[in-house]
Structure 1
Amino acid sequence: MATSGTSLRRRRLGVALRELREHASLTHQQVGLTLDCSPSKISRIENGEVGVRRGDLLVLLDLYGLDDAGQREELLELARESKRRGGWWLKYGELSHPYLKLIQLEAEAASIRGTELLLIPGLLQTEQYARALISTASPDDPEEAERRVGIRMMRQEIFRRPNPPEFWVVLDEAALHRHVGGSETMKDQLLALAEASTLPNVTIQVLPFEHGEYEAMTGSFRVMRFPDHRDPDTVYLEGFSGTMYLDDVRDIRRYSLVFDHLCAAALSPQLSHQRILAVARNLTTHV
């Protein structure tokens, strides 16, 4: 499956430009004046949210005093690579920037660790479960709902690539009991979840009801790590009002620590597998 590292290349370029700017003791405002743009645009470039034109990049490299020909060419190549289009998602038409960024980061990730509070993670959802969720969000546009279902199913292809990512999720038990799509759909989803937990690169732990309150009850998150050390880890936060990406070292450390605490509090992978099957069997008796 064709993939694109556009988001990673753009982020890598942004990190390098931020380091060069800070080394030159320049502010966003000062750089913006040189490029005749707003300070916020410089910030977006450094955060990997937008690309940078070759001419502007050359101006920045001169401004920052980067004379090394090899380093300059490496950054120019990163800028070229960040503009290349490619990937299975192109056939699905226009996607929002945050969602496209998630798809591209997932496609490049070496590991994805995180939590889910109320729903089965999108990367482990069955088609019927996903359709029930998405149709509820787009009740008046069945064509758009099917498009989104197709995208979600294609995202799961990362598990079929030669080197699939390590996927580790701590799942609130509530997600096992919420009957999305009805009992049959939910039973099939739970059986698929139990089967996925047997894969060598997938770890699922259930945080049981009896544990009570815990850290991160206010929202799900994912910590993504990448094979190239130049690409910083990223925290992905998703909520009703939108999504957020964090790559500050302090944020990475904080969410990684919370994840470790949740793993310690949750059932073991083996007991979690049994708990998932037990809930599925209970559904079977009530179908």
Structure 2
Amino acid sequence: MMYEVKGGYVQTETRKGIATIEFYHPQSNSMPGKLLHELAMEIHSAGHNPEVKVILLRSGGDKVFCSGASFDELSNIRTAEEGLAFFNGFAQVVNAIRKVPVMVIGRIHGKCVGGGVGIAAAVDYAIAVEGAEIKLSELAVGIGPFVVGPAVERKIGVSAFSQLAIDATMWRNADWARRKGLYAELHQNLEGMDESIERLTNTLAASSPDAMMEMKKVFWQGTEHWDQLLTERAAISGRLILSEFSRQAIEKFKAKVKA
């Protein structure tokens, strides 16, 4: 099943109990609101399909895993309500991963920026390749990693999350991310990463669904309030993105990309 979204898509393929959900956008796998909504819906649908035992979340292309929010869409936000609606898209994706009763494995084949770091943090087990650097760039455009922050902080701790959020222009390499706990595994090449993903997803697909469901409840204990929390955080970003600072920063970034 595939949903096409302005040049991008979200598609799901289910085989032998493994639902592979892939998202893609031609602008470095950036995330417009519609793509975020469809991704959240696909995760929810696959996670509640009795034939699905495990979800593999991946992105298309061979460069960036996810570059976060779509700058084209950010520049078109005119009201706080529109801002809330857009940033709530990331909240929907994180909460969908959190609430499905199956394990979500992440294939991190390239760099993660902003919301992309949040998606990598939200999955239950992230397998990455060298070169999958990370950066929480939100402060550089006048906002902050408010929506994905709880997922990142839960995975790597307050100190490491603070370092990423404060130094918003500095890349951390994939080994830093592995040592902090964002990545469960780090491989030298795509072949090694994919072999490990195949091994783990097949093992989980043959494991007890009830046991994995109970394990996931334990892993996510204490996050039951995230539906409300992440929406409140989305409202903060939605308000800040209207500032003149953010407007100028976004336009500078878009001009740099086009140059």
TM-score, length of structure 1 as denominator length: 0.28
Greater share of helix residues, 1 or 2? Answer: 1
**Greater Rg by CA:** 1
